[in-house]
């Protein structure tokens, strides 16, 4: 019985070395790609911008002016469904929210100005100007 246990231990150790070596040689995952900023279409200078940040799957909205408008960043799967929105209050800085998106998924980003509820959006990014990121 003792000989059998040594044989099992030897096989287990050999398998660990083989698997460990195989895993060590496996290529690392390719990092995602941040999107460019999508800007609101209000008269220049733009009042807001939004982007996708691949590290953390974050949608970020930035208020560029303390003008009373909220900036809304909208995140969609490329050619697909809505994922989520994030809003930045009227404070002139940025806010973001994370959403777990599968690896290597393409996403679209758009941004609008509006009120605190998101019901009255205006100056939204034209569809042709939506920016693309990769999770």
pLDDT tens across 69-112, in order? Answer: 899 999 999 888 999 999 998 777 899 999 999 888 999 999 99
6 lies in a domain?
A: no
Average pLDDT for 44-55: 91
pLDDT at 36: 94
Residue 8 falls inside a structural domain: no
Residue 33 has pLDDT above 70, yes or no: yes
Q: What are the angstrom distances between the C-alpha of 101 and each of 21, 30, 52, 77, 105? A: 30, 15, 11, 9, 7
In a domain, 98, yes or no: yes
Coil, helix or strand at residue 23:
helix
CATH number at residue 99: 2.60.40.2550
Q: Does residue 21 register a pLDDT over 50? A: no
Domain of residue 105, residue span: 38-134
Total number of domains constituting the chain: 1
pLDDT value at residue 106: 92
Establish if 19 belongs to a structural domain: no
User: Residue 82 domain-assigned?
Assistant: yes
Q: Is the residue at 42 inside a domain?
A: yes
Q: Is the pTM of this model over 0.75?
A: no
| pLDDT value of position 54 | 93
């Amino acid at each position: 019985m003792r000989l059998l246990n040594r044989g099992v231990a030897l096989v287990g150790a050999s398998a660990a070395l083989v698997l460990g070596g195989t895993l060590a040689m496996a290529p690392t995952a390719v990092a995602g790609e941040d999107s460019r900023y999508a800007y609101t279409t209000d008269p220049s200078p733009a009042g807001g911008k939004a982007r996708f940040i691949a590290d953390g799957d974050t949608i970020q909205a930035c208020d560029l002016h303390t003008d009373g408008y909220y900036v809304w960043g909208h995140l969609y799967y490329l050619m697909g469904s809505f994922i989520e929105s994030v809003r930045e209050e009227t404070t002139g800085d940025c806010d973001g929210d994370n959403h777990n998106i599968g690896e290597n998924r393409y996403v679209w980003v758009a941004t609008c100005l509006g009120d605190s509820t998101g019901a009255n959006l205006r100056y939204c990014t034209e569809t042709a100007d939506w920016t693309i990121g990769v999770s």
